[in-house]
Structures are given as C-alpha cells and as structure tokens.
Amino acid sequence: MPSDGRTPPVVGWSLAVAAFAHVAYLALLITCDALPVVPFGFVPHFDGRQVTVEQVQPATLAARGGLRPHDRLRRANGQVLEGRVDWQRMRVQLDPSRPLELDIERDGHPLKLRLPLSAGLGEWWSEPVRPGLIAFRGAEVIVLGLALLVAYRRSSQPSALLGAWLLASFGTLSVALPGRMFFFWQELPQPLEALLWVPFATSFATGPLLFAFFAVFPRRALSPTNLAVSLLPGVAAVGWFVFVGRHLNQPLGAATGLPDAIPWVFATWCFYALAAIGLLIAQHRRLENLTDRRRTGVLLGGLGTGVTAGVAFLAIYKLDEGPIFGNPLLTVLALGWLAGPAAFAYAILRHRLFDLPLIVRQGVRYALARRLLDALIPLVGALLVIEAVLHRNQPLSEMVQARWWWYALAVLALAVIRRRREHWLAALDRHFFRERYDAERLLQSVVTQIDRASAFESVAPVVVQQIDEALHPVFVDVLRHAPGEGLFTAATDSAPRRLALPASLAVIGVLSVLRKPLAISLGDTAWVRHQLPLEERTLLLERGVELLVPVFGDDGRELPIALVVLGPRRSEEPYNTDDLELLSTIAQRLGLLLARSHGDARRLAECDSCGRCFDEGATLCTHDGDRLSVRPGSRMLNGRYRLERRRGRGGMGTVYEATDDVLDRKVAVKVIREDLASTAFGRGAPGRVEARFRREARAAAGFAHAHVVRVYDFGVDHERQPFLVMELLEGETLRQRLAAGAPLAPQETLLVLRGLCAALDAAHRRGLVHRDLKPENVFLQQQEHGFITKVLDFGLARAFAADWPAAPGDDTKLTSAGLMIGTLDYMAPEQLAGDVVSPSWDLWALAVIAHEMLTTRHPFRRTVVVGNGLASTIGDVTTGDAVSILPPAAATFFDAALSSDRTRRPPDPMAFLAKCEEMLA
C-alpha cells in the first residue's frame, strides 16, 4: 500500500469488480426465491445409486400425475438419476415452460409421467416459506452491505479486507442451492456468468475464511506458512464444491457419478469454526491492549451466538426434513447468525471500543426516553379513541357534556405536547450529549481567546488547559519548532521534556503534505502503524501520541511551525470529525497569532492638534499640516482594529475612534496608559497581570446594560499594551457639560442620576464595583430627543488596582510604590484608607457627582499629604463653601450621603435615587 494510506488503483478496481460480482450473485439468489416452481408434491429418497419416491402429498402435482410411493425415479427431464447431485442438477436447471418428464419404474415396469409446471411471483406469494425467505434474504442484504462498507472504509488494511471477504461470504450464503439457479445463470452475459463463480466459491468458504480472519485479527497469531498449511483442507473442500457446481451447470444427460458435497462442506465449516473460536480465545487471553481485548470480546460474543444458532438450525433441519424455512423456529435460528457478521463489522470499523454494558445502557436509555416523547401524542390520541369506543352507544353530545373536563384536559395535553415537544427533545439531547456540547463550546472559546491574544506564549497555556477540559485526553501540549535544534519542544512551562519530538520524523513530512490533523493510532486499524519506520513507531508508542495537529504560518514554509499533540482520550473514545475540525481551526488561529506576534515593532504617528492617526513614516498631518508626534505602538491593534483619530485622554488611557476591519464598523478603542500598563505588567510573573486584565475585561464585556457602554472586545497587543474595544458614542462627558460653569437643572440632574443608579445597581448585584466613578466616566450620549447616560470604564480600575489579589484565593497584595488607581477627589474615606473593596465606594463618588451637577462645585476642600502614605482632611459638608447655595433639604441629604460614617449613607443606588427624587421634588 502507498505510504499515505491511499488505496492503489488496481486494488480499487479489483474491489469494485468483486463487489459487483457479489451483489449480482445475491440478486440471482433473490430472483430464484421470488420466481419459484410450484412444489412437486413428493419427497425423493436417496439410497446408494437409487432414487425412490418416499411419500406423495395429496392434491399435488405428483398425486394428480399418478406418482406413487416406492416408485423408482430413473430420469427427470432426461437427466439420469443415481444420487443427490443428479437430482440437484435437474432442479437448478428446471425450465417451468416445459412439463416435468419423469421416467419411473413401478413393480419392474417402466412408466413415463408428465407433470405440468408453473412458476412466478404467484407461486412465491402462496408458499408457506415466504416469510422465512424474506427475513433470511433481508439479513443477507444487510450483511453484504456491511461487507461493502468495511471494504470501502478500510481498503488500505489487508486484515480488514479479509474481514470484508468473510462478511461477503455470510451475505451470499445458501444452505442449499435454490431451484432454477443455473437456469437463470445460463441466461446471463458470458463475462458475468464467469464472474459469478467467485461469489459462488466465497459463499461456501465461510469456515476457512473465518479461521484465516482470526489468525490475523486483531493481532497476527499464525505465521503465513502455518496459516497456509492450516487452510489446505478448507481450500480442498471449497475446490471440490466448485468442481461439483461446474458439473451441475453441465447439460442434462448422463449421471454425474459425484457424491453429495454438502455434508463435507458442513463438516469443514464446523471444524474451522471450532478452530477459529479456539484461536480467538487464545488471542483474548494473550492480548494486553484494552481495545484489542474488547474487540475480541465482541467477536467472541457475536461468533458464539451465530454458531449456536447455526448448529441448532442444522440439527432441527435434519430431524424435521421439511422445507428449510417452513418451520418458524428454523427462520429465527437462521437469523441468529446475523449476530456474527454484525459483531465482525463493528470490531473492524470501530477505532476504539467501549464496554458493551456501557453501550447498551446508554443506548437503551436514550432510545427509550426519545421513543416515550415521540409516543406522547399517539398515546393521548389512543386514550381518546378508547374513550369513544367504550361509550360508542352514547351520542357524542352527551359524551362531551358528561365528561367535558376529560376532553378539555386531553386537548390541553395535546396542545402542550405539540408546542413543547421539540424543546423536550432538545433537552433530552443535551442531557445525553452534554459533554459533547460543553466540549464544542470550550473549543470555540479557545478560538476566540487566540484571536484576542497578543503573544503565542501567553495563550499556549490557555489552549492546553481548555483542550484538556473539552476533550479529556491523557495529555495535551503545544510544541514549537526550534530550527536550530531540529526539535519540536514544549511551549508551556508545565510541559514535560519527554514531549519533545524530532523535526526529522517521517510523520512530520506526512503532516506537511496533508496539512490537517493526523490520528497516529497504534492499532491494527490504522495505516500509519504499518507505514512508519520501526524506531519511529517505538518513539510514538513511548510518548503515547494519539493525535497530531499541525500549525502552519503564512510564510509559505512546508514544515509546521508548531504542533498540538494529544494522547488518547481518557474515555477511550476516538476523536471524531467535529473534534478534528475544531482543532484545525485552533491550529489555524495559532498560526496567524505566531505570524502576528513575530512582526517587527511599529510606531504610531499622531497629530497633537486634531488627533488624527497615521502609519509610521508619516511626518505631517494631511488635515492641518502640523508635524506629527510619534509614540510606541502600532496603528493596527492585533491585526484588526485600525486607529483613526484620538477622541480624548483620561486617567486610565487614551480613547481613539477606530475601524474594526473584520466587521467593517466604527468602534471606540481605549488604549491603557503606557506608564500604567508597564508598571502593572512589570510586577508579578509574566502573563499574570495580563491574565487578570483579560479576566476583568471579560467580566466587563459580559455586563450588558442600557446605561453602560458596551465592551465588544479586549486584548493586549505585541507591545504588552492592553486595550478595550467599545461602542462608539456621540455626545459629551459630564465633565465637559460641567465645564460650561452652569449647574444642571433638577430634572436634567435626575435624568443623569437615573441612568447612573440603574447601572450601578445592576453592577453591584453582579459583584462589580466601578472604583473610579467621576464626571469623566459619565457620558451623555446624544439622541434625537435629549441624551442617555452611559457609564464608562467598568472593571478597568479593578484590573490595574494595586491592592487586588492576582487570583481567587490568593491573599497576596500586589503593591507598587506610587501606584494608586482612582481619582482622589471622588474616593471615599475607606477607599483612601485601603479597606476591603465595597459598593459604598461608588455611592460616595455618586454623591460627589450629584453635588457637582447641582452646584458645579466640589463639596469638600481636601488637603493631601504625600509622605509615608496618603492622608486627607475631610471637612463637614455643612461648613463647605458650596453649602450656602443648597436648600436645607439638599444640605441635609448630602450631609448624610457624604458622611464618614457609612451607616448614615444610602444603602444602595436605588435608595440614593429615591432620596434624590424626594429632595428635588
């Protein structure tokens, strides 16, 4: 076979011809069954070289033609009768258009009888053996279909092709040659007539093929020489039967002189069947591979069932001596052997097998549950029918009137079932296939995270972790190609050194050609095992490698730049097509990330006057002609977001209007301040703070609210600079509105506060605290009839807070000298003191903002001293300069809302809003 596992053309054509021959042969057998000759009505008895009439059934052709018991049959249609083979020759060449001419001897006197014949579907339809024949031939059609499937799916594996040949012998088996067989055979074109001798021989080679198959599957048990010697008796038996078949196809006339070959063939079958079972049992005890042991267990179960049914069939047939399928028990036993072919096909086709109890238990539970849901509507309908039948003598109007509640419930049940049936079926699928759904969601999320990542090294551990959670392999890792060392080495710190793979492996060359995942199964059903060099097979076996997923860059190199390596799944289930497609997508995204993260560092040119952005190399603004300033960073963030114009700067960073090249839409991108990012990312382990930023940004992105700016995306570019992608808003910040110097009207203030309080209340319920609420982070989005309040930068302060633990359960505070996130004028006393994060921080800032909107002034004079720490003096609100312009009710409210005693403040944002509405009424 070719090293890539493809079937050579000569083998493909040979399989096609063999498949055609077997299908044609089975069609011939079915034709003989469907167009039978009317029964003769007598039973011939074979004694030595004499054929006599044993019994004549009344009202049959024989009885009407004058045939009597003990008549000796000399000739039939000119065929001399001296034994069973002579009688078979006459039967298989019978022409129903001519009467059956019998030369008999009765009491020493010769007689001639003519029995008129008829044949066709009508005769078949009236035969008592028809149901048994239909069942038996239907089973053979299924088995032959399995044979073709195995040959097609495993055409590159010799042992599987032998199994397909064995299944084909099961699928064309005939306990006895059907009548008129060679009559139809001789009418076929000569090439097809010659071709049918192959399946004819195959159909009587079941025993030797069974033994040969178990000698090589699932592991080779006999050497080729020993196997050939062992098959000699079987080859002789099959050859003898083909020899007899050739004589049966000769013109009628002289006696054949051949003994009956059927007993010899059956004896050969039994001998080889017992030898095959013994060989399989010996293999089962010797095998160590769990899948191979399960495979032999399936074969033993199927073979035991089939052989038991076959032996019982032959025993009852010999005792009964009636028509083969006239006895219903014989029909059932004849179908019992179907267990054997089904077990063979399952064992050959399945890459890895499970325990049978698990398969049966899960399959039956799912099937019963689904059938129950499917049967609900017919069940309710049947109850209505039964109700109508039980009261059929009662008028319909009286029935409905007497039991209206029953019919109302039935109609309601039908409506509910019809409406909810699809939902229930989907829930059932989720229950039984929840692991598959969860795995697909996890792998799809990996793709999203890779697209958002800025560096291969930072995302590789995430890829490994989530593939492990989704597919549960024994191990998984990402290996990168190190050209200088000629190795693929682990890209994650936790990966064991044993997973390094030489780049010179032959399987790497195969991956370079296929450019798709490759299952390196070490079982007999995988072509890779037979094609790889011995030392390479040993290496992969020691590593336990089951699946290799290549990662290619966009530089045109043939060799993969990385590999995703997986061991077998802990459940022993093979990786299916959906798994391979998702893993291919992950590999494609990793390749793009590698290409992106290895690009040269670029710089962004920006106009200080108008804020427009340009690529590196531009020196003058095309809009106003001013000279451009250059800063580190790329204009294109992660290959997707192109910065167009600076919209503003804040305490956390700079906001740009940008274009999302993937979705072709305008967005706002907030690039975190360079000094803040470098200070934050400089502390702790590499990738630790990036992961924290991603976690908080993901939480902010998942917080959707009408009064919170929507976060579309987030990431860290190759300069390790974090950014957020948000919806682009038109309008102004609250700070810009207050800069005009005039306070907001009470109704306008309430409009802003309603949006703010609604957003904060929803956030606090989710456990989110803003930490840096101020007028700069309150945006008044312009609309056709006024504005709507939007809160900016949710979660951003938390991502860079110096006093926030790096991971859940980690009480270590990441501190950095001089780094404090938040705006001093809006920080609550407990926030300044470094207390545990609390929603009261946001409520304090909310009260300060409300005071500013009503007065345009800050409610306090603060004195800040920077020494060993931070300190501030907070005066009483009633003594502040701004108090004189507030009415007494408002002064009382702010005195409580801005009290250093948290118990005096409103407990939550909605309570704060209610007090404000009462104050401004």
Q: Is residue 182 a contact partner of residue 93, using CB atoms and an 8 Å limit? A: yes
Q: How far, rounded to the nearest angstrom, does the alpha carbon of residue 41 sit from its chain's CA centroid? A: 60
Least confident window among 185-189, 433-437, 707-711, 838-842: 433-437
Bigger pLDDT: 5 vs 329: 329
Residue 853: its pLDDT value, please?
92
Asked whether residue 906 carries a pLDDT value surpassing 90, the answer given is yes
Whole-angstrom Cα distance, residue 82 to residue 392? 69
Give the mean pLDDT of 623-635. 81
Other C-beta atoms closer than 10 Å to the C-beta of 548 total 25
Q: Quick: pLDDT tens for 78-123.
A: 999 999 999 999 999 999 889 999 999 998 899 999 999 888 776 6
Amino acid sitting at position 919 = M
DSSP state of 776: G
Which range is least confidently modeled, 295-299, 690-694, 703-707?
A: 690-694
Do 80 and 253 contact (CB within 8 A), yes or no?
Answer: yes
* Cα–Cα dist 604/617, whole Å: 9
Q: Are residues 564 and 450 in contact, defined by beta-carbon separation less than 8 angstroms? A: no
pLDDT at 419: 76
Mean pLDDT of the chain: 78
What does the alpha-carbon distance between residue 521 and residue 477 come to, in Å, rounded to a whole number?
18
pLDDT at residue 175 above 60?
yes
The class (CATH top level) of 739-769+807-919 is mainly alpha
Give pLDDT, residue 619: 81
**512 secondary structure, DSSP code:** H
List alpha helices for 670-733, DSSP H.
674-682, 688-701
pLDDT of residue 816: 36
HEC states along 141-182? HHHHHHHHHHHHHCCCCHHHHHHHHHHHHHHCCCCCCCCCHH
CATH superfamily, domain 603-727, is Phosphorylase Kinase; domain 1 (3.30.200.20)
In this predicted structure, what is the pLDDT of residue 103? 93
Residue-wise pLDDT for 209-218, tens only, equals 999 998 988 8
What average pLDDT score do residues 416-430 get? Answer: 68
Mean pLDDT computed over 497-520: 80
β-bridge mates for residue 490, sequence order: 479
Higher pLDDT, 393 or 622: 622
- In this predicted model, what pLDDT tens digit does every residue of 821-863 receive, in sequence order? 567 888 888 888 878 888 999 999 999 999 999 998 888 854 3
Residue, of 819 and 796, whose pLDDT is higher: 796
CATH class of 9-35+130-350: mainly alpha
How far apart CA 914 and CA 907 sit, in angstroms, is: 11
| 658 vs 136: which has the higher pLDDT | 658
pLDDT of residue 869: 38
- Residue 539: pLDDT above 70? yes
Cβ atoms of 260 and 83 closer than 8 Å:
yes
Quick check: 762 and 659 in contact, CB under 8 A?
A: no
Structure tokens, 915 = 């007090």
Per-residue pLDDT band at 351 (split at 50, 70, 90): low
Within 768-909, strands assigned E span 778-783, 786-791, 862-866, 870-874
Catalytic residues: 772
Instruction: Give the pLDDT score at 439.
Output: 61
Asked whether the beta carbons of 654 and 646 are under 8 A apart, the reply is yes
For residue 747, with 0-12 CB atoms within 10 Å meaning exposed, 13-18 middle and 19 or more buried, which class applies? Answer: exposed
Residue 163 phi, psi dihedral angles, 5° rounding: -65, -40
In the CATH hierarchy, which fold is given to the domain comprising 42-119?
Pdz3 Domain (2.30.42)
- Tell the burial category of 432 from Cβ atoms under 10 Å away from its Cβ (0-12, 13-18, 19+): middle
Q: Mean pLDDT across the stretch 464-477?
A: 83
pLDDT at 76: 94
Reported as a pLDDT band with limits 50, 70 and 90, residue 326 is low
Task: Tell me the H-state helices in 739-839.
Answer: 746-765, 796-800, 829-832
Question: What residues are paired with 659 via a beta bridge?
Answer: 642, 666
CA 223, 227, 230, 235: dihedral to nearest 10 degrees?
-160
H or E stretch at 502 = strand 501-502
- Tokens 């209505």 found at: 384
Specify which residues 476 forms β-bridges with. 566
Question: Is a pLDDT exceeding 60 seen at residue 820?
Answer: no
Across 594-745, where does the E strand assignment appear?
603-607, 613-614, 628-632, 636-637, 641-649, 653-660, 665-672, 711-716, 722-727, 731-733
Give the predicted TM-score (pTM) of the model: 0.47
Residue 288 vs residue 711, higher pLDDT? 711
DSSP string, 50-84: EEEEEEE-TTSHHHHHT--TTPEEEEETTEE-SSH
Class for the domain spanning 436-597: alpha beta
